[in-house]
Structure 1
Amino acid sequence: MVEFRRRYGAAPWHLLLLFGCFAVTGGIALRLAGEPTAGRMLLWFLGAVVAHDLLLFPAYALADRALRRALRPDDAPRTPGDEPGVAGRPGDAPVRDGGRPSALNHVRVPALAAGLLLLVYLPGVLGLGGDTYAAATGLTPSPLLDRWLALTAVLFAASGAIYALRRLRGGRAGA
């Protein structure tokens, strides 16, 4: 088992999980191969990959870097990845002194959820494809923007409340 882990680089269950994922993906690909719109779906998928890698990833990486800088006080310890010549893991959050929670993930998580919801419902939020949406659901897409904005506000408010509770609890435990 140790030799397998040393050679493969992960536990055996990781390899089994990968085989399972490849089997599911292969099954879906075989099923879609007979569809008349398979070429359009493949083109959409490749476009989504390119759009993510060339546009979205750099945009949210820059936003995350700016957020990390904005939320890091001058006297707080730096993240290992921020220091020149010191490699840190991409998800490392700034370490706070005294055990205080960082606000970083309390902004990241609702922003990620709101961004994913926006991507999923983007045509409806922008008011595009109303006829198709109405034919598929029997509803109009007009309230989607208001609902997305309200849900985004609720996500950030809940995250802020959790952060405030964590700060209060951390302050009492440290006193």
Structure 2
Amino acid sequence: MGGPYDLRRPVMRVPVRRPALGSPLQLLLLACSFALAGYAGVRLLADDWFGVALWLVGAAVLHDLVLVPLYAGADRALARVLGAAGHRDWTGYVRVPALLSGLLLLVWFPLISGQVADRYRSATALSGDGFLSRWLLVTAALFGGSAVLLVLRSLRLLRLRRARKQRPSAVH
């Protein structure tokens, strides 16, 4: 009596929740984005479907087998170094500009490396030179801005600590 299979015990009913679908506007926007993605996929695969498929598979393999271990290892090393220095909370100030700089490098690598400068010039009538220096300037600006934000945050925390020390202790 009273065991887990006692038929006299009341059965607890778990309410079945219906999935949150969102508003009709969200559903319409989602349907439109799927339609646009489908149209782009059909247009992209119409000419050289094998080349596109090969590029997608190659990019996925390169990302998963080469890039993920590289940036995971770099992030782990950064966290370990900053953690040993007692500033593990600074990792975000290095991660964000490094991520944005890496993304820019990934997108613009053919032009940054100068591999397609002639093709770029023939297609746009613009010089393909200067992409490396611009990427380096953007990277420096990203890390410089991040350093400024870190200094401002540190100064704010320092002011808060000083204000806390100057307050008289509360009477209990």
- Using structure 1 for the length normalisation, give the TM-score: 0.72
Question: Structure 1 residues 134-143 or 111-120, which shifts more?
Answer: 134-143
Deviations 1:68-110 (A, max 9, x none): 111114667xxxxxxxxxxxxxxxxx5xxxxxxx211110010
1:3 to 1, 17, 20: 17
Partner of 1:12: 21
Q: How far apart are the structure 2 equivalents of 1:63 and 1:54?
A: 15
1:37 to 28, 42, 48: 48
Give 1:79-158 correspondences, 5 Å limit. 94=88, 102-158=89-145
Deviations 1:17-58 (A, max 9, x none): 876654443232223232x22321222122111111111111
Give 1:156-167 correspondences, 5 Å limit. 156-167=143-154
Q: Is the 8 A contact 2:111 2:131 kept in 1?
A: yes
DSSP-derived class of the 2:127 partner? coil
DSSP-derived class of the 2:126 partner? coil
Partner of 1:72: 83
Q: How far apart are the structure 2 equivalents of 1:26 and 1:171?
A: 53
Question: Structure 1 residues 121-130 or 23-32, which shifts more?
Answer: 23-32
Q: How far apart are the structure 2 equivalents of 1:2 and 1:20?
A: 30
2:73 to 55, 62, 72: 62
Deviations 1:133-152 (A, max 9, x none): 11222222221111111111
Gaps of 5+ in 2: 1-14, 163-172
Would you say how many aligned residue pairs link Structure 1 and Structure 2?
145
Q: How far apart are the structure 2 equivalents of 1:21 and 1:50?
A: 27
Percent identity, please. 43
Question: Structure 1 residues 139-148 or 56-65, which shifts more?
Answer: 139-148
1:170 aligns with 2:157: yes
- Using structure 2 for the length normalisation, give the TM-score: 0.73
Letter in 2 for 1:12: L
- RMSD in angstroms over aligned alpha carbons? 2.7
2:40 to 15, 25, 28: 28
DSSP-derived class of the 1:70 partner? helix
Gaps of 5+ in 1: 6-10, 77-93, 95-101
Q: How far apart are the structure 1 equivalents of 2:66 and 2:43?
A: 31
Letter in 2 for 1:156: F
